[in-house]
Amino acid sequence: MKQMEMCMNAKTKKIFRLITLSELGGARIVMANLANKLAKKHDVTVLAGEGDGQMFALLDSKIRKIHIPLLKRAISPVSDLLAKKQ
């Protein structure tokens, strides 16, 4: 039995999805659908940047959600460095 559990755990992957905006929209809905499907068999974390965070409501409760407001859509070296520290 333990050997079977080990085989099942070996197939589980840790998957990180990163998107710069956390508000609802086409790309965020597609990303949420993909993350929900992947979460059925894998450990999924979704990181999202600026916005109202409504996209997180679409995600399965098993998915770890990380909101990084300093992660911006526009290129900003200062914001990018600050977001990295979060």
Burial environment of residue 28 by CB neighbours within 10 A (0 to 12, 13 to 18, 19 or more): buried
**Cα–Cα distance, 45 to 15 (Å, whole number):** 6
20-31: per-residue pLDDT in tens? 888 888 888 999
Domain boundaries, the chain: 11-85
* Residues of the chain predicted below pLDDT 70: 1-10
pTM for the model stands at 0.73
Strands (DSSP E) contained in 1-86 are 14-19, 43-48, 64-67
**CB atoms near residue 16 (< 10 Å):** 12
